[in-house]
Every structure is written in structure tokens, then in C-alpha cells.
Amino acid sequence: MTLPEDRSWWLSLGELRPDDVLKAAASADVFWLRELMVLPAHTNQGVGRRLHDEAVRGRASSGRR
């Protein structure tokens, strides 16, 4: 989901948020992947990475910070 600017944990970071990230959040350009779980029987097989990559595919910027 797109990160809502008024999310309490986001606001609690205060000045730790760089200006470029604040601007991105203000224009709804921050993608928030809250949880990604893989069943224990499928861990360490790259499943989580593939799920992540599919979730961010097509976003304007899918680079990692």
C-alpha cells in the first residue's frame, strides 16, 4: 500500500526522515510493505524475495533503501 502521511509510527520518526523521503511521502510515492510471510516449509528458497519483487513490480521506483 502507499504509505499514508499521517501514520503514527511514521510521524514518530520526526527528524530522522530525510527531506527527500518526506517529499516522496507527501506526494504518495512511498510504498509500504508492512508484512511478508512465508510458510516455514518454504523459507530459504527465495519465495519471499520473489513475492516482494512481484509486489513492487510496476512501481515508479522499486529501488531499496
Tens digit of each residue's pLDDT, the chain (65 residues): 788 888 888 899 998 999 998 888 888 888 888 888 999 999 999 999 999 999 888 776 555 44
And the C-alpha cell for 65?
Answer: 533503501
> Is this structure's pTM higher than 0.95?
no
Phi, psi of 54 (to 5 degrees): -70, -40
Give residue 65's pLDDT.
45
Cα 5 to Cα 61: distance, rounded to the nearest angstrom: 18
What pLDDT is stored for residue 63 in this prediction? 52
- Are 4 and 28 in contact by the 8 Å Cβ rule? The answer is no
Q: Which amino acid is residue 10, in one-letter code?
A: W
Cell 512501481 found at: 59
